[in-house]
Structure 1
Amino acid sequence: MNGTEELFHRLLAALGRLALNPFYYISILFVVIQYRRHIILERKFFASRLHSLGQETWRTVVWGLAAGVIASLVLAGTGIRLEPGTVVLLWGLTLGLLFLRVRFLCLAYSAGLLGLLHLILPQLPGWGSHSGYDWFYRAIDGVDVPSLFVLVAVLHLLEAGLILLQGDRLATPLFIESKRGKIVGSYQLQGFWPVPLFLLAPVASGGVGLPWEPLLAGNWGAVQWDFLAFPAVIGFTGMTLSRLPRPKLRQTAGLLTLYGAVLLAGAMLSVFWTPFGWAVAILSILLHEAVLAYGDRLEHKSGPFYVNGPRGLTILAVLPGSPAESAGLGVGEVLHKVNGMRVQTKEELHEALRLNSAFCKLEVLNLEGESKFVSRPLYEDEHHQLGIVIAPDDDAPYFVEEKTFSFPSYVRRKWMGVLRNERQQGL
């Protein structure tokens, strides 16, 4: 059996080990909890759901697997060194940070912290002298800083691609209280993908030689290699009340691409200049925070977009399979007239719809402010507002307030998160 065939058989064995890895199922469970919360919010606000739990979970798992294959192929060429102890420490730190904030479910934070621990702890007096902690000492000493941050950079570049391809499917419309105390429409943008990675790792014995020369492997020909199954989670979270979901997601993807490129360059530089590992570990955390802060700053500079005004009622969402969807109505457009009647409130909309119970004529202002006309018959079993979710007014019975929260509180509130009702504030 030649080296390529042996590698293929070892890859199949790694797939089997992934099927027994509890961390992979933990990541899928987290995704299920996220989607369940989205659907509960949709039903609470709109008495309908915009997403399917089964379909969205299946789609996310499949796309995460595809991303894992791409990342594994890219990383196989780099020869990054991740010891099994490094993987365990990464997951331990990730789960610990998750209990502080859900948005910390990102390798940027756990890898940055692990890199700092690798650089700081061995310098402390008495390091390695306590019996019973030998595994921990070996795991910390075995961290390869350049490999660690090449992994983080590649995953963030993949995340940017997944956001462009899939992110708008994870946009959930909500009613939110603005800083001025006004209830406005918004979109929660949040998605996570479980990404199984199959990384080539050096082993002391029982491995196989590589038929190619990895970029970072050094004396690669004298080292034996095997596949290490590493389930990771990538994802993003955010909210927009001043823009359409798609432009906001493009902005997020662009910032993450920049982050991944800078971190990749820093990781490569640390290969040739070891002290730069300090800078890369710190950049992993601070630059990620800067990306989030910059996105929030751009968001807050603009006023609310999903509000009703003199022109009419702003469309916050269109229910799937509804008359509004079949008529081509879109998010952000404005209902100007219904059956010839100007509408600026929900009450006026309902009154205008009652003018003709069998037929409906709409004048809608598109995103460019130009009028378009839609007419269609009405049927008894259709949504009372044609499947249109309009921007809220100050009498909205439910709203949320954006705030980060920890995973325990997330579960404790039965996946309802920030929801409060009957005019009470959110978290």
Structure 2
Amino acid sequence: MSILLEGLWNLAEAVGQLFLQPFYYISIILIMLMYRRQFLLERKLFHVRLQSWLGQTWRTVIGGLLAGIGVSVVFAFVGMTLTMEGIICIWAVTLVLLLIRVRYLCLAYSVGLLGVAQFILNLFPSFEGAQWIGEIVRIVRELNMPVLLCLVAIVHLAEGLLIRWQGAKSAGPLFFEGKRGRMVGGYQMQNLWAIPLFMFIPAQTAGDILPWAPLFGGDAWQGGFSVLALPIMIGFSEMTTGLLPETKSRITSGRILGYGLIILVLAILSAWWNPLILLTALVAIILHEGLTWLSRIEEQQHSPLFVNPKGGLKVLAVLPGSPAEELGIIIGETIIKVNGVPVPSQEELHAALRINPAFCKLEVLNLAGESKYLQRAIYAGEHHLLGAILAPDEKTISAVKLRPLSLLQLLNPKRGVSGSSGGYRASTSTKSQEQVVEQYIESIHEGAEKHEY
């Protein structure tokens, strides 16, 4: 009973610590800024609001909280030896990386770099440094790298599950240039989750001991335990023009889960054989980058999915609560006839709907290429295209230009309209397909790609 009471008291203190730390609030503010930029980009391209950026923020905060509870429970049996100095050190490295690229906002990069730095410092044990440099050297040397690398792995496992659950729900449609300046449709999928972790750590003073033996720490746990709040952020950003968002999210989720398992095995082995720490730190960074490049290359190999076929209109997105959603139209389907009239263009679709302003009948090709017939009454004030956002055509003038996104750009929401958003910038352009592909290789995933801190 005393162990339970002490655990609850320590947990209450950790919750208090969490709400006193600025890092958790910084995480939520970054989430709000990212979704705000996405909202502005949608208004720029489609002149409608597809989703509420506040609603998206709330949904991801709840998802992050649930993930934090799950990771905390798992890590209670792993054992965490991390001080507040260590937390500040990790955040400092992450914020420096964030100034370079938003997608470097990732625990894998910050912990990996700290692992490499610790290895280099250990090669020169006599080096201590002076004043604040000496303090940083001491903190880096004292970091328990096997535990931190294990944390990276477990957090990525949680991220993979969150992507499977919420990844496609936040996908935002966009336009960008295709072959010979032709616009094509696509999706950017961006998610950030603020995750509060509550870690059991060995206490410096005597107290009740844990009723179980954590994987890491050994005899350190015989002196009692305490709970430390560690707010981190996880997330990902993907862009797809050749796959449905659900399919892309499922593929990304599987790869991140595999990444987490590999790092977890290496991290556990490094606890027993120190030379593996450097290898694990390098693998955490290199394999992470490899997943990013693999996704980029695969996107180039897929034919664009959201382009209008001859004689029809491809549905890129459907407004929530719209007539199109009530009719059962889903993204990727093709509208070919309305009220018996072929609709090869948006103007002809609008004209066909006006044939009978009170009722409409549609013929739609589903994802399997089979026809389905839909009908519904039309009411005054409803969207002129039933709430369907269609793939771009030759008259589309606004598209997305790809470029890296930095922290300073993220802090200026208005630049999401004429500047970049999640690594993408809305603009009008006439670049060739080769130039667009080159930009795509350099800049895709630059918005929030796989970041945790």
Per the normalisation by structure 1, the TM-score is 0.96
The residue matched to 2:411 in structure 1 has which SS? Answer: helix
Contact preservation (8 Å) 2:37, 2:413: no
Structure 1 stretch 415-424 or stretch 286-295: which is displaced more?
Answer: 415-424
CA–CA separation in structure 1 for the residues paired with 2:125 and 2:150: 30
**Aligned residue in 2 for 1:352:** 352
Partner of 1:249: 249
Shift >6 Å, 4+ stretches: 424-427
Structure 2 partner of 1:342:
342
Query: Which position in structure 1 is the counterpart of 2:305?
Result: 305
Secondary structure of 2:356's aligned partner: coil
What is the rounded CA distance, in whole Å, between the counterparts of 1:133 and 1:93 in structure 2?
15
The residue type equivalent to 2:327 in the other structure is A
Shift of 1:77: 0.2
Following superposition of structure 1 onto structure 2, how do residues 128-207 of structure 1 map, counting pairs within 5 Å?
128-178=128-178, 180-205=180-205
The offset of 1:423, in angstroms, is: 4.8
Shift in CA distance, 207/54, structure 1 to aligned 2, threshold 3 Å: farther
Q: Counterparts of 1:268 and 1:53 in 2: how far apart (Å)? A: 40
Q: How does 1:15-414 map to 2 (within 5 A)?
A: 15-124=15-124, 127-178=127-178, 180-205=180-205, 208-412=208-412, 414=414
Q: Distance in 1 between matches of 2:103 and 2:190?
A: 10
How far off its partner does 1:252 sit? 0.3
Task: Give the Cα separation in 1 of the matches to 2:210 and 2:415.
Answer: 47
Secondary structure of residue in 2 paired with 1:37: helix
Q: 2:426 aligns with which of 398, 413, 420?
A: 420
Residue 360 of structure 1 aligns to a residue whose secondary structure is strand
Q: Is the 8 A contact 2:159 2:234 kept in 1?
A: yes
Task: Give the whole-Å Cα distance in 1 for the aligned partners of 2:298 and 2:225.
Answer: 46
**In the TM superposition, what whole-angstrom CA distance separates every residue of 1:331-365 from its partner, at most 9, and x where no partner exists?**
00000111111111112212222222222111000
CA contact (8 A) 1:7 1:208 kept: no
Report the AA paired with residue 426 of structure 2.
Answer: R
Q: Is the 8 A contact 2:316 2:389 kept in 1?
A: yes
Is 2:5 the partner of 1:5?
Answer: yes
Q: Deviations over 1:233-257 (max 9, x none)?
A: 0000010000100000000000000
For 1:75 and 1:96, the matched residues in 2 are separated by: 27
Q: Distance in 2 between matches of 1:7 and 1:324?
A: 52
Q: Which range is displaced more, 375-384 or 278-287?
A: 375-384
Would the aligned equivalents of 2:362 and 2:374 in 1 still touch at CA under 8 Å?
yes
Q: Give the secondary structure class of the aligned counterpart of 2:228.
A: strand
C-alpha separation between the residues in 2 aligned to 1:58 and 1:247? 24
Structure 1: gaps of 5 or more residues: none
Shift of the 186–286 alpha-carbon distance from structure 1 to 2, 3 Å rule, reads: same
Helix, strand or coil for the counterpart of 2:187? strand
Structure 1 range deviating more: 49-58 or 370-379: 49-58
Q: CA deviation at 1:138?
A: 2.4
Deviation at 1:394, TM superposition (A): 2.7
Q: Aligned pair count?
A: 427
Give the 3 Å change call, closer, same or farther, for CA 378–230 of structure 1 in structure 2: same
**Residues 413 and 59 (structure 1), Cα distance of their counterparts in 2 relative to 1, 3 Å cut:** closer
8 Å contact 1:396–1:423 — kept in the other structure?
A: no
Deviation of residue 134 (structure 1)?
Answer: 4.2
* Partner SS for 1:401: strand
Q: Which residue identity lines up with residue 130 of structure 1 in the other structure?
A: A
Q: Please, which moves more after superposition, 179-188 or 227-236? A: 179-188
Conservation of the 8 A alpha-carbon contact between 2:202 and 2:221: no
For 2:68 and 2:142, the matched residues in 1 are separated by: 24
Listed one character per residue, the Cα deviations across residues 169-228 of structure 1 (whole Å, up to 9, x for unaligned) are 110001112365321000001100000001122232266421211111221443332111
**Distance (Å, rounded) in 1 between the aligned partners of 2:125 and 2:205:** 33
Q: Percent of counterpart pairs with the same letter?
A: 43
SS at match of 2:360: strand
Cα deviation code 1:358-408 (max 9, x no counterpart): 221110000000000111122221000000100001321211023322111
Q: Deviations over 1:257-312 (max 9, x none)?
A: 01000000000110111101010000110000111111222221111000001141
Normalised by the length of structure 2, the TM-score is: 0.90
Q: Which runs of 5+ in 2 are unaligned?
A: 440-453
Identify which of structures 1 and 2 has the higher relative contact order when contacts are C-alpha pairs closer than 8 Å and 6+ apart.
2
Report the more deviating stretch, 126-135 or 25-34.
Answer: 126-135
Residues 22 and 415 of structure 1, relative CA distance in 2, 3 Å threshold: farther
Give CA deviations for 1:22-51 in whole Å, capped at 9, x if unaligned: 000000000000111111112222222121
Q: Deviations over 1:115-172 (max 9, x none)?
A: 1111112323752142344432321111111101110000000001111111111100
